Chain A
């Protein structure tokens, strides 16, 4: 158990490092894109998605598929491709990366406490799992709705919040995590009973 927890801790360190690196890279690209002229950005309407592209050279581009539920299928002449691209990526990046990195840090705290105390069952870990569950529920319920809202404020100025932006799968996974937190609290009680029995 100890050696596998050590391996998981190393893997988590690597994943957190990669994510922080990606987040910094993401901020650099967005900052760079914000200084580029409007002609570098293009927008194309598909069947269910918008394709927003940022061409940073003749042969390389950076693009995003944005569903109609987030950016309404209105005429592409009404809004600016650059504003849509930047709004989508800034809101997505600043919602996704901090939450994901914070979630990974909580998982790492659980692994470190398992290494130190030789058992994952304690009340603090139950609270940590509860935090992850609330993060998941919050992310699945509000992340796409928030991006949808920012698109309304900064891009289209046409208010239309789409309920299909709420991810019920994420909500269910969050609820299961809450259940696991409860199981951990019971496990912590059993662990204490076991520790106080000789």
Chain B
């Protein structure tokens, strides 16, 4: 998929663990792990807002558009 989730990178920068973020924003570890690994089809604005607020970042830091060719090369 052309949209890449960069949650792991932001979490590493902020030195926060996935389960800590999950408990703060109030969604399950499984769902957040699915988001991190790109297994979800869509993300709600409210979830994105909660993640950005907690990690003090912009939506663009978490999601990134990469052309399909680039994705295949990675």
Contact = CB atoms under 8 A, between A and B. Distances in A.
Interface of A: 193, 196-198
B43 interface: yes
Interface in B30-60: 31-32, 34-35, 39-44, 47
A175 to B, nearest CB: 34
B49 to A, nearest CB: 13
Contacts, number: 21
Interface of B: 27, 31-32, 34-35, 39-44, 47
Contacts of B44: 197-198
Nearest to A193: B41
A196 B35 CA distance: 9
A7 B35 CA distance: 37
A188 to B, nearest CB: 15
B28 to A, nearest CB: 9
Contacts of A197: 40-44
Nearest to B31: A198
21 contacts: A193-B41, A193-B42, A196-B39, A196-B40, A196-B41, A196-B42, A197-B40, A197-B41, A197-B42, A197-B43, A197-B44, A198-B27, A198-B31, A198-B32, A198-B34, A198-B35, A198-B40, A198-B42, A198-B43, A198-B44, A198-B47
Contacts of B39: 196
Nearest to B41: A196
With a 10 A CB-CB cut-off, give which of A193, A196, A197, A198 has the most chain B CB atoms: A198
A53 B72 CA distance: 80
Nearest to A198: B31
Given A197-B44, A198-B34, A198-B42, 16 more contacts: A193-B41, A193-B42, A196-B39, A196-B40, A196-B41, A196-B42, A197-B40, A197-B41, A197-B42, A198-B31, A198-B32, A198-B35, A198-B40, A198-B43, A198-B44, A198-B47
Contacts of A196: 39-42
A197 B39 CA distance: 10
Contacts of B32: 198
